[in-house]
């Protein structure tokens, strides 16, 4: 990975990108002929996260291959127990919660929440907030203030969009076989007090139908849907693994 200000300036990196030698990835650039892997996507967030924060939520979903494009603003939890007081980037939203070591992995020199904990966090995010309908938010949902403020409408639309993205990413993690909804439900059931626990559990129950056939739990009431294939017939994460082992 190449980052502005290390070996090359942003102008030099941009010029190399225009010439076709580099392509943008995350917060940096990678060689145009390199394979985009999970570790490469994680490493691309090193300037934002350092070694004190872990990529979570939609950022982790993108790293694991559940999203094709990174979110506009990345999300992170603390990877250290002490509070962080330094100034953060506008490209980053820090959720001031410590992510325990069993809930994260080191990939490309960057902490990333595991697929299981990413699924749990996304399920909670998709079912929390003022605008929701049975765990999902309608695409056109907005909230109007008494004055009809366009700012309020944009804010409500952004919240709705974030909920929809969280739901889609959670479903993709399950369809790709990266995370098991049953394990996520068991993790939630072991916690007595947690905001949004019951709504997240209901969503995870619904996501069981999208698990790969080999992992799917037999449930009464009809056939389950098969997992979504990748662009060329394989899930993206599995294609990367096959390429890496070749």
Closest CA to 98 of 75, 113, 79: 79
Residue 123 shares a structural domain with residue 86: no
The model's confidence at residue 156, banded by pLDDT at 50, 70 and 90, is low
Residue 131 shares a structural domain with residue 158: yes
C-beta separation of 116 from 174 below 8 A:
no
Residue 90 shares a structural domain with residue 151: no
Residue 94 shares a structural domain with residue 158: no
Residue 209 shares a structural domain with residue 138: yes
Domain boundary among 98, 113, 128: 113
- Mean pLDDT (the chain, rounded): 79
Residue 55 shares a structural domain with residue 87: yes
Let me know if residue 15 belongs to a domain.
Answer: no
Query: Is 213's pLDDT higher than 80?
Result: no
Domain boundary among 113, 135, 156: 113
What's the burial of 30, exposed, middle or buried (CB within 10 Å: 0-12/13-18/19+)? buried
The model's confidence at residue 147, banded by pLDDT at 50, 70 and 90, is very low
Residue 122 shares a structural domain with residue 208: yes
**Could you tell me which residue, 136 or 95, shows the higher pLDDT?**
95
Residue 86 shares a structural domain with residue 127: no
Let me know if residue 160 belongs to a domain.
Answer: yes
Number of domains in the chain: 2
Distances (CA, A) of 132 to 141, 155, 179, 245: 9, 14, 24, 42
The model's confidence at residue 194, banded by pLDDT at 50, 70 and 90, is confident
Let me know if residue 235 belongs to a domain.
Answer: no
What is the CA angle 45-51-53, rounded to 5? 70
Let me know if residue 42 belongs to a domain.
Answer: yes
pLDDT in tens, 82-91: 888 876 788 8
pLDDT in tens, 16-62: 999 999 999 999 999 999 999 999 999 999 999 999 999 999 999 99
Domain boundary among 82, 113, 144: 113
Residue with structure tokens 């662009």? 231
Let me know if residue 23 belongs to a domain.
Answer: no
Residue 108 shares a structural domain with residue 40: yes
Let me know if residue 30 belongs to a domain.
Answer: no
Let me know if residue 245 belongs to a domain.
Answer: no
The pTM assigned to this predicted structure is: 0.76
Beta-carbon contacts of 215 under 8 Å, excluding residues fewer than 6 positions away, are: 177, 180
Residue 120 shares a structural domain with residue 211: yes
**Domain of 103?**
36-113
Q: What is the mean pLDDT of residues 172-178?
A: 95
Let me know if residue 3 belongs to a domain.
Answer: no
d(CA 181, CA 136): 17
């Amino acid at each position: 990975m190449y980052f502005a200000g290390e070996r090359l300036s942003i102008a030099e990196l941009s010029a190399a990108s225009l010439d076709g030698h580099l392509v943008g990835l995350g917060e940096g650039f990678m060689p145009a002929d390199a394979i985009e892997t999970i570790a490469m996507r994680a490493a691309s967030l090193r300037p934002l996260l350092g070694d004190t924060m872990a990529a979570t939520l939609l950022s982790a979903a993108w790293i694991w291959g559940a999203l094709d494009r990174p979110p506009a603003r990345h999300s992170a939890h603390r990877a250290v127990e002490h509070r962080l007081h330094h100034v953060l980037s506008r490209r980053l939203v820090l959720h001031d919660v410590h992510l325990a070591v069993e809930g994260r992995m080191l990939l490309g020199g960057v902490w990333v929440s595991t697929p299981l904990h990413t699924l749990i966090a996304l399920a909670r995010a998709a079912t929390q907030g003022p605008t929701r309908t049975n765990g999902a938010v309608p695409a056109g949902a907005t909230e109007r203030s008494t004055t009809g403020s366009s700012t309020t409408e944009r804010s409500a639309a952004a919240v709705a969009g974030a909920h929809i993205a969280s739901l889609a990413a959670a479903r993709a993690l399950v369809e790709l076989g990266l995370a098991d909804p049953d394990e996520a439900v068991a993790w939630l059931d072991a916690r007595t007090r947690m905001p949004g626990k019951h709504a997240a559990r209901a969503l995870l129950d619904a996501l069981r139908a999208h698990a790969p056939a080999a992992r799917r739990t037999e449930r009464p009431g009809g056939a389950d849907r098969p997992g979504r294939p990748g662009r060329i017939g394989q899930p993206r994460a599995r294609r990367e693994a096959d390429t890496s082992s070749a």
